[in-house]
Amino acid sequence: MSAETDLSPILPSGLVPSLAEQTAARLRESILSGEIGPGERLSEARLAATLAVSRNTLREVFRLLTREGLLHHEPNRGVFVATPSMASILDIFRVRRMIEVPALAQAWPRHEGIARMRTAVERAEALAGVADWRAVGTENIAFHNAIVALTDSPRLIAFHRQIAVELRLTFGLLDSPEMLHAPYIALNREIVDRAGAGDTAGAAVLLGHYLDQSERTIMAAFARLA
Amino acid sequence: MSAETDLSPILPSGLVPSLAEQTAARLRESILSGEIGPGERLSEARLAATLAVSRNTLREVFRLLTREGLLHHEPNRGVFVATPSMASILDIFRVRRMIEVPALAQAWPRHEGIARMRTAVERAEALAGVADWRAVGTENIAFHNAIVALTDSPRLIAFHRQIAVELRLTFGLLDSPEMLHAPYIALNREIVDRAGAGDTAGAAVLLGHYLDQSERTIMAAFARLA
DNA sequence: ACTGTCATAATTGTTCAACAATACACTTAG
DNA sequence: CTAAGTGTATTGTTGAACAATTATGACAGT
């Protein structure tokens, strides 16, 4: 996974990540890849043995991922993989609109984030050519991370990364990633072209449309599950 | 501390909070009350003894408060109370503008959050009468929490609560809370009156002015420290 | 068969003690 | 005065133990 698409929190500069953080990263990927399904209960003893860490360390990991929204902790009953709901999807898109659209609208057209957006689009175009839709989804997330990076706000960036992780959890539930991601590559291309040309306001409008459409698509796919 | 001004994260519904969460709450208040100063190092062994919990439990607490932004973890060196900087203040106000202003602008005038805003203002007015400026500051934070509550977005509310905690950490550094809070009571009153009367757009404009002024005041007080 | 009660087993919550790994302070050699 | 090296304190991690809570299942009564 490339640096631009890494969804794990920023680590203390240049130092070896602790075992707890490494383990958190592993467990996060296990969850996001669908290896562990939403609602599933994570037994401390069993998972500690599987991951080859102590129960104490695993409990620290649980605390981290619970704060991230990936796990859900019920006292004296255990931790469970969070189960996305329609309410959470609606909330996530509401937050995304509130953050991404102004971020793009007020962007400086030569900010490095624009380059990151362009890279993500180009990669997505290439990956769509070979029908690797899961990777297309990853690049799509990178595209939107780059939009928020335009703000240079550490807090907004961290918050948005967390939201993106939650959304990826939802994607794991849905099938047909082609339908979920393919239609938006061209739109992303137009957004970044406009932003790069200085028309950030126009790009922001398009981004709003993107979010509306994407929300509808995901909600529809999600509703088909229930 | 009343329910409206409680800055601790939402606990699992109706259940006994774990020792780690209780301890996190205690440590959070120790930090925010200034009992432990910014930059100070927290020794695991010593603090565990002081709080009468095991090192393992305390480490879980550290992970919670680190994710909250109150502590700073340097691997193999220990955890330190976070030290606010000018950059963090600028970032916090940027985020607040981005969240609070639209939250108020799009508010439903009969949302319960409006009532919470009004309560906070009335309490602040009363407390200003007896010159309890620290409590005025607490009510001021409750006022802005209520604004974000107007969105009914769990994620925005949680994010804003976290930001508010970080800002309280900054307040702890500054003296003269009267100067920091007193001038804004009347402005808050006007904001809630307008919003309650249905002029949420006008209220949002005033809120923007509030944030500009407040940021300048805090930055000036902070600059006087260095 | 259905349901409620109660003992029993399994799991989480928390502590403690130990040791390894890292960083800090200090001494000593050049 | 700097540099290298040694010793010590602190963090990182583990495993075992026990208390507290919840889940399981047998059993009795209807």
Inter-chain touch A15–B153, beta carbons under 8 Å? no
Q: Which residue is nearest to nucleotide C15 (CA to C1')?
A: B54
- A153 to chain B, any CB pair closer than 8 A? The answer is yes
Beta strands in chain B (DSSP E): 41-42, 71-74, 78-81
In sequence order, the 6+-apart residues with CB closer than 8 A to the CB of A161 are A7, A9, A145
Query: For tokens 């990853």, what's the residue?
Result: A138
With CA of B78 and C1' of each nucleotide, the nearest comes out as D11
- How does pLDDT run along chain A (226 residues), one tens digit per residue? 333 333 344 434 345 678 999 999 999 999 998 899 999 999 999 999 999 999 999 999 999 999 999 999 999 999 999 999 999 999 999 999 999 999 999 999 999 999 999 999 999 999 999 999 988 999 999 999 999 999 999 999 999 999 999 999 998 888 777 888 888 999 999 999 999 999 999 999 999 999 999 999 999 999 998 7
Farthest CA pair distance, chain B = 56
Whether B161 contacts B9, CB under 8 Å? yes
Inter-chain touch B98–A16, beta carbons under 8 Å? no
Residue B4, pLDDT > 60, answer no
Of A64, A74, A95, the CB nearest to B12: A74
Disruptive mutation site among B10, B44, B155 for chain A (greatest number of A CBs within 10 Å): B155
- Mean pLDDT (whole number) for B34-51: 95
Q: Alpha-carbon distance B142 to B135, whole Å?
A: 11
Please count the CA atoms within 13 angstroms of the CA of B103 that sit on its side-chain side: 29
The residue of chain A nearest to residue B12, with distances taken between CA atoms, is A74
Q: Alpha-carbon distance B95 to B89, whole Å?
A: 10
Paired with A74 in beta bridges are: A78
Sketch out chain A's domains with CATH numbers. 14-81 (1.10.10.10), 86-225 (1.20.120.530)
Using left for φ > 0, alpha for ψ between -120 and 50, and beta otherwise, residue A69 falls in left
What percentage of chain B has pLDDT greater than the value 90?
81
Strand D closer than 7 A to residue A20 Cβ: yes
- A209 to chain B, any CB pair closer than 8 A? The answer is no
Using alpha carbons, list the distances in angstroms from residue A171 to A1, A130, A138, A190, B156: 18, 20, 11, 24, 21
pLDDT at A16: 67
Answer with the residue of higher pLDDT: A17 or B76.
B76
Question: Residue B20 corresponds to which amino acid?
Answer: A
Answer with the residue of higher pLDDT: B28 or A174.
B28
Disruptive mutation site among B159, B163, B165, B166 for chain A (greatest number of A CBs within 10 Å): B159
- A159 to chain B, any CB pair closer than 8 A? The answer is yes
